[in-house]
Chains A and B, each alone.
Chain A
Amino acid sequence: MRKRSLLPLIGVVAIVASLVVGPAATAGPEVAKAGTVVFIHDQEPPNLNNDLVGNGLYATSLVMNRILESGAYYNAQARLVPVLLTGLPKLIKTRPLTAELEYKANAVWSDGRPITGADFRTAWRTYINPAHNVRSRTGWEDIQRVNVKGKKATVIFKKTYAPWQELLSASPLPTHKVQGQNYNQLWLNSIDVSSGAWRFQSWQKGVQLTVVKNPRFKALPTMKLDRVVFRYILDTNARFQALKSGEGQVMEPQAQLQIADFRNDSNFEVQSLAGFSYEHVDIQFGPQGHAALKQPYIRQALITGMNRAQISGALYGTIAGRLPVLNSLIFKTFENGYTPHFSAWKFNQAKVISILKGKGCTGGPDRPSAGNNSIFSCPGVGRLSFRFATTTGNQLRALTFEIIQRQLKSVGIELLPRFQVAGTLFGTTLPSGDWDLLMFTWVQSPASKITSKDIYSCGGELNYMKYCNRKATKLMDATAQELNPAKRQTMLNQANALMAKDIPSIPMFVRPEFLIRNKKVTGPKANPTLTGDTWNAHVWTTK
């Protein structure tokens, strides 16, 4: 008996042992062939066609932006630089808006066909086709006509589209591959053509996607590496472990405390830089928001009672160092033209109390105190108790809320947490206007400011705050039609100054983006725009 029942046990041990001894005896760390870089990412593309609805994800663009390369893209300094184009698109005429673009002589598709102006026109026709489930037609539907001649294309607009230069820098699509195809079914699981540094090789769904060097890419220096493998690891902790153990060499983590580990590790380099995403707290002006919020002094009290510098320090201190507070709703701290109009509202707890008391509010503390429990009530608007909504399950947001709540409680303003799942928060709550304060992130690009009107103009498509300032609206609407960048900058800053007085939204800080690279790989440089951190993959090398 004893022998019989031990036999299976021995058998099992043998199996397990063979699994350990066999492969472990021959394997080193998991880097495969030389000339390969493994890029760890947290989300797998749903499919490879980034233009379709349900896509448009950063995860997809990491891969596809170097397969369907752009005419021009934003480099690491957020400047638009030509890639496939000979130079940035040129303005020919303003009425009607007409511009011209020309592709480089050495810009070819991976099968040898040259990239021509017709390929730009193909892109336009594909996007405006109503049968195609394209995510966004904005800008493309404003194009009247595209005339092509060889490598040149001349684009004539129906009406003024301010971000035209960015639009015309978009990727050309291969006419010979796209014509006659149903774009909805094209390039879902593979793509056999490329205009960029690499071309698609294979995709093992759920595990990894492999791209290999495109030797025909001459518009920029040809890629040095043989291969880049995108490995998809969904669990945050597992990603960090994988990076540590060498199962991957490059990663773009979200802001997580584990990053601090890597800052102290000499085998790794952590790059952190401010991106185009910024955290902010919107204030509800509509009928379903708290009546108090319609009073300017209340809003002033709120922003004066929040120590935004302390928050960003608490959140990102160990992983990104000190981040500057954001004091503009339109420009980012590192951008040309950034004017910190909101810095007029310096953090001052005593001032909050004096503002409120000055307007006749009662019931609150006389002095700011950490243990305070008395909440102000103000004439005609009631008790200063506001619902504070944000996404649930986000450690940093929870921490942010706690700090704000504590800061405001000390001066007699109460915040009630209303955390919700992202789907409900953004799908139902935000558009309905049934909230008081809502904190979230706008993910933007360098050209987003041109359409600030969407968010802040009276009746703007994304104006969920129901905020309305006629003067600011006029300025922002005009910006969207203005083609002169300098003029735009002035108008936007004027609008920002007005909003700094109104305080429709409290800008918090620009969210830092991170890139960790194993020092065995040289070249990766973080790019704050949606061009993605693989923008310069053609110069990467590995030991």
Chain B
Amino acid sequence: MLQYVIRRLLYSAVVLVLASFLVFMFVTVSGDPLAALKITPNVSEETVQNIIERKHLDEPVPVRYYEWVKDALTNKFGTTLLTDEPILPDLWRVMKNTLQLVLVAELLAILIAVGIGVYSALRQYSVFDYSMTTFSFLGLATPVFWLALMLQVAVVQIYLATGRNVFPIANLNSVDPGEGLSFVIDRAHHLVLPVIVLMVANIATYSRYMRASMLEVVNSDYVRTARAKGLAESRVTMKHAFRNALIPLVTLVALNFGTLLGGVVVTETVFSLDGMGLYFVNALGTNDPYPVMAWLMITATMIIIFNLVADITYGLLDPRVRYD
């Protein structure tokens, strides 16, 4: 197992380096970060020169890449191009915000989806099953930005009708969130709508997966054996059916989670949440490769780690799978 992990990490390192070079090249050649400056009247020539020297903008791309690597390793990913501000503090801040949002959304989605999937499978073709199937299709078909906007509009309409602000519709916290517990509650309050939006698509996917997996297991021979042994139905379902049915879902969740940590751009934009997705989009918009690369490195590492976690977990849960 250890050998397997090490080998995977080595391959991943190669992938990471390759990805970093490609992305750096694309961002660099896609546009001139000084474009806006150059056509703005009265911009000081000396200042523009300073920037060009500081960020080696007159050098060819491979040299600039090398400079970036140096900066990334020795100077915590370096500083932004125009304003020369350190990147890492901002990145940590947005990372934490995204983590909060995504973690809560995923956990809730899993809990609900597993419940729905199991119950649907056990009560196949019932009213519950059909309505959950419909809900899943709707959830998958609904565009995220539309759902987010509809929720905001709904909340505002409620406010206009009753004077009650049931949920805040933007940002991470209110003007005076308070300290300690009050801050936490305020933050949770602000995350309710974004979490709902994120959950919908995930619940739809996960519950379908869970249902399919559960159906397959529930009709299997070993479940019949378990019943034949005289086990109570609840025990049969939980110990024999449910645990086995959960395995493919665990893999899916682990893989999905890695990607989510790169940020959920649309949700973050509509709700103005200070997260990784928004950070990336803004950085890209300024054609500044440094923050984009920093974001990429973190996101790629997360994805690689979680891919590995998915594989290892699968191996742990299913003894038929062995890694050498």
How far is B50's CA from A15's CA once the two chains are assembled, in angstroms? Answer: 54
Select the stretch in A397-405, A424-432, A481-489 that faces chain B. A424-432
Given the known A-B contacts A53-B47, A237-B270, A247-B168, are A8 and B39 also in contact in the complex, defined by CB atoms under 8 Å?
no
In the complex, A238 has a CB within 8 A of chain B: yes
Given the known A-B contacts A207-B172, A208-B171, A237-B152, are A20 and B83 also in contact in the complex, defined by CB atoms under 8 Å?
no
**Are A30 and B38 in contact, with the CB atoms below 8 A?**
no
Interface of A is mostly: mixed
> Could you say which residues of chain B place their CB within 8 Å of the CB of A47?
83, 85
The interface bits of chain B over 220-238 (1 if a CB of A lies within 8 angstroms of the residue's CB, else 0) are: 0000000000000110011
**Are B44 and A206 in contact, with the CB atoms below 8 A?**
no
Query: Which residue from A12, A133, A462 sits with its C-beta under 8 Å from B47?
Result: A133
How far is B25's CA from A308's CA once the two chains are assembled, in angstroms? Answer: 44
> Could you say which residues of chain B place their CB within 8 Å of the CB of A16?
108, 192
Given the known A-B contacts A5-B114, A134-B44, A245-B155, are A237 and B149 also in contact in the complex, defined by CB atoms under 8 Å?
yes
Interface of chain B residues 170 through 211 with chain A (CB within 8 A): 170-176, 185-186, 188-189, 192
**Are B233 and A430 in contact, with the CB atoms below 8 A?**
no
> Could you say which residues of chain A place their CB within 8 Å of the CB of B188?
19
> Could you say which residues of chain A place their CB within 8 Å of the CB of B273?
206
Nearest A residue to B268 by beta-carbon distance?
A234
Query: Which residue from A22, A54, A133, A246 sits with its C-beta under 8 Å from B159?
Result: A246
**Are A53 and B51 in contact, with the CB atoms below 8 A?**
yes
**Are B171 and A207 in contact, with the CB atoms below 8 A?**
yes
Query: Which residue from A8, A23, A205 sits with its C-beta under 8 Å from B114?
Result: A8
**Are A38 and B175 in contact, with the CB atoms below 8 A?**
yes
Interface of B is mostly: helix
> Could you say which residues of chain B place their CB within 8 Å of the CB of A53?
37, 43-44, 47-48, 51, 82-83
**Are A229 and B175 in contact, with the CB atoms below 8 A?**
yes
> Could you say which residues of chain B place their CB within 8 Å of the CB of A232?
171, 272
How far is B49's CA from A134's CA once the two chains are assembled, in angstroms? Answer: 11
In the complex, A474 has a CB within 8 A of chain B: no
In the complex, B278 has a CB within 8 A of chain A: yes
In the complex, A135 has a CB within 8 A of chain B: yes
**Are B51 and A133 in contact, with the CB atoms below 8 A?**
yes
Select the stretch in B7-15, B58-66, B89-97, B303-311 that faces chain A. B89-97
Query: Which residue from B39, B93, B160, B269 sits with its C-beta under 8 Å from A426?
Result: B39
In the complex, A94 has a CB within 8 A of chain B: no
B126, chain A: closest CB distance, angstroms: 12
The interface bits of chain A over 22-51 (1 if a CB of B lies within 8 angstroms of the residue's CB, else 0) are: 111001111111001010000000110000
In the complex, B42 has a CB within 8 A of chain A: yes
**Are A423 and B287 in contact, with the CB atoms below 8 A?**
yes
In the complex, A158 has a CB within 8 A of chain B: no
A391, chain B: closest CB distance, angstroms: 12
Interface of chain A residues 426 through 443 with chain B (CB within 8 A): 426-428, 430-431
> Could you say which residues of chain A place their CB within 8 Å of the CB of B274?
205-207
In the complex, B1 has a CB within 8 A of chain A: no
Query: Which residue from B31, B46, B118, B185 sits with its C-beta under 8 Å from A427?
Result: B31
> Could you say which residues of chain A place their CB within 8 Å of the CB of B173?
204, 207
> Could you say which residues of chain B place their CB within 8 Å of the CB of A93?
none
> Could you say which residues of chain A place their CB within 8 Å of the CB of B39?
426-427, 430-431, 462
> Could you say which residues of chain B place their CB within 8 Å of the CB of A421?
31
**Are B82 and A54 in contact, with the CB atoms below 8 A?**
yes
B250, chain A: closest CB distance, angstroms: 16
**Are B165 and A27 in contact, with the CB atoms below 8 A?**
yes
How far is B274's CA from A204's CA once the two chains are assembled, in angstroms? Answer: 10
In the complex, A244 has a CB within 8 A of chain B: yes
**Are B47 and A23 in contact, with the CB atoms below 8 A?**
no
Nearest A residue to B191 by beta-carbon distance?
A19
> Could you say which residues of chain A place their CB within 8 Å of the CB of B186?
23
How far is B82's CA from A225's CA once the two chains are assembled, in angstroms? Answer: 35
**Are A130 and B46 in contact, with the CB atoms below 8 A?**
yes
**Are B32 and A241 in contact, with the CB atoms below 8 A?**
no
**Are A1 and B44 in contact, with the CB atoms below 8 A?**
no
**Are B50 and A30 in contact, with the CB atoms below 8 A?**
no
How far is B149's CA from A136's CA once the two chains are assembled, in angstroms? Answer: 41
Nearest B residue to A242 by beta-carbon distance?
B170
Nearest A residue to B37 by beta-carbon distance?
A53
**Are B44 and A246 in contact, with the CB atoms below 8 A?**
no
**Are A136 and B43 in contact, with the CB atoms below 8 A?**
yes
Nearest A residue to B111 by beta-carbon distance?
A8
Nearest B residue to A231 by beta-carbon distance?
B171
In the complex, B243 has a CB within 8 A of chain A: no
Query: Which residue from A32, A206, A241, A431 sits with its C-beta under 8 Å from B152?
Result: A241
In the complex, B163 has a CB within 8 A of chain A: yes
In the complex, B138 has a CB within 8 A of chain A: no
**Are B165 and A235 in contact, with the CB atoms below 8 A?**
no
How far is B35's CA from A422's CA once the two chains are assembled, in angstroms? Answer: 9
A70, chain B: closest CB distance, angstroms: 18
**Are B166 and A20 in contact, with the CB atoms below 8 A?**
yes
Query: Which residue from B32, B48, B82 sits with its C-beta under 8 Å from A428?
Result: B32
How far is B242's CA from A5's CA once the two chains are assembled, in angstroms? Answer: 10
In the complex, B264 has a CB within 8 A of chain A: no
> Could you say which residues of chain A place their CB within 8 Å of the CB of B153?
241
Interface of chain A residues 493 through 517 with chain B (CB within 8 A): none
**Are A206 and B97 in contact, with the CB atoms below 8 A?**
yes
How far is B172's CA from A38's CA once the two chains are assembled, in angstroms? Answer: 15
**Are B112 and A9 in contact, with the CB atoms below 8 A?**
yes
> Could you say which residues of chain B place their CB within 8 Å of the CB of A241?
152-153, 155-156, 169-170
**Are A24 and B115 in contact, with the CB atoms below 8 A?**
no
In the complex, B71 has a CB within 8 A of chain A: no
**Are B165 and A188 in contact, with the CB atoms below 8 A?**
no
**Are A427 and B35 in contact, with the CB atoms below 8 A?**
yes
Given the known A-B contacts A130-B46, A237-B149, are A29 and B165 also in contact in the complex, defined by CB atoms under 8 Å?
yes
**Are A24 and B83 in contact, with the CB atoms below 8 A?**
no
How far is B165's CA from A24's CA once the two chains are assembled, in angstroms? Answer: 7
B132, chain A: closest CB distance, angstroms: 12
In the complex, B119 has a CB within 8 A of chain A: yes
**Are A238 and B152 in contact, with the CB atoms below 8 A?**
yes
In the complex, A344 has a CB within 8 A of chain B: no
How far is B38's CA from A462's CA once the two chains are assembled, in angstroms? Answer: 10
How far is B183's CA from A23's CA once the two chains are assembled, in angstroms? Answer: 11
**Are B38 and A431 in contact, with the CB atoms below 8 A?**
yes
Given the known A-B contacts A20-B192, A207-B274, A234-B272, are A5 and B118 also in contact in the complex, defined by CB atoms under 8 Å?
yes
In the complex, A233 has a CB within 8 A of chain B: yes
Name the residue in B36, B94, B169, B270 with the highest tally of chain A Cβ atoms < 10 Å from its Cβ.
B169
Nearest A residue to B273 by beta-carbon distance?
A206
How far is B84's CA from A9's CA once the two chains are assembled, in angstroms? Answer: 49
B142, chain A: closest CB distance, angstroms: 17
In the complex, A138 has a CB within 8 A of chain B: yes
> Could you say which residues of chain B place their CB within 8 Å of the CB of A36?
175
**Are A30 and B165 in contact, with the CB atoms below 8 A?**
yes
Closest 6 CB pairs of A and B: A427-B35, A206-B274, A54-B82, A54-B83, A138-B42, A1-B237
- 20 A-B pairs with CB atoms under 8 Å apart are A1-B238, A5-B115, A5-B119, A12-B112, A30-B174, A132-B47, A134-B44, A204-B173, A206-B94, A207-B171, A231-B171, A235-B272, A237-B149, A241-B156, A241-B170, A246-B159, A247-B170, A424-B31, A461-B41, A462-B41
**B interface, CB within 8 angstroms of A:** 31-32, 34-39, 41-44, 46-48, 50-51, 80-85, 90, 93-94, 97, 108, 111-112, 114-116, 118-119, 122, 149, 152-153, 155-156, 159-160, 163-176, 185-186, 188-189, 192, 233-234, 237-238, 242, 269-274, 278, 285, 287
